[in-house]
Amino acid sequence: MPSLAEPATCAAVAEALPRVLDRRADPPRGLSRHIEHCLVCQAELARYRRLLRMLAQLGRERAELSPGALADLLEAVEGAARRSVIRSALAGRRLAYGAGLIGGVLAAAALVTVSKLRTMRRPASV
């Protein structure tokens, strides 16, 4: 494939245009130099520009969801929102249970340790 900086042939322009053409920018200089002097390639460029314009216009199209479909969609989002609230509430509760459990275990461990220490310090009775 010839470099875009080199003077291009009609075949090279036709091959390169769909690859390099941007909606807002001119073709690279190597192509532009050829196109300026070639009616056939000017027509080809015009076709691609028209194609890009038509495609861009499709982007403005809107498709209204039927009221039922929109209601379903909103209900699904509402359901997700409810589940997320429940999940975060459960997560909070789980956190509280976990903290309580860990606290309980630590307290039990502390009690056992203290009672063991007391037993060790008490002199052996005859």
Partner 1 sequence: MSSLGRGERRDVAAESESLEQLTRAARRGEREAFERLVRETAPGVYALALRLLGNEHDARDAAQETYLRAYRSIGRFRSEAAVTTWLYRIAANCCTTQLSRRRVALPLEAAGELADEAHDGDPEAVAATAAERDQLASALSRLPDPLRAVVVLHDVYELGHEAIAAELKISRAASKVRLHRARRRLREQLFPEQRPGDASAPDAAAAVVRPLVRRPQEADEVHQGAVAR
Q: Residue 123 carries which side chain, given as an amino acid letter?
A: P
Q: Does 47 interact with partner 1 (rule: CB under 8 A)? A: yes
Selected binder of partner 1 within 3, 19, 118, 121 (CB under 8 A)? 19
Which residues from 82-111 bind partner 1, rule CB under 8 A? 84
Q: Is the CB of residue 25 less than 8 Å from the CB of residue 2?
A: no
- C-beta of 48: minimal distance to partner 1 in Å? 6
Nearest to 16 by CA among 52, 41, 50: 41
Q: Does 4 interact with partner 1 (rule: CB under 8 A)? A: no
> What secondary structure does DSSP assign to 97-111, as a single string?
HHHHHHHHHHHHHHH
Nearest to 45 by CA among 72, 75, 22: 22
Interaction pattern, residues 53-82, with partner 1; x per rule: CB under 8 A = xxxxxxxxxxxxx---xx-xxx-xxx-xx-
Q: CB neighbours of 73 closer than 8 A, spacing ≥ 6?
A: 65
Residues that bind partner 1 (CB under 8 A): 9-15, 18-19, 21, 23, 38-41, 43-44, 47-48, 51-65, 69-70, 72-74, 76-78, 80-81, 84
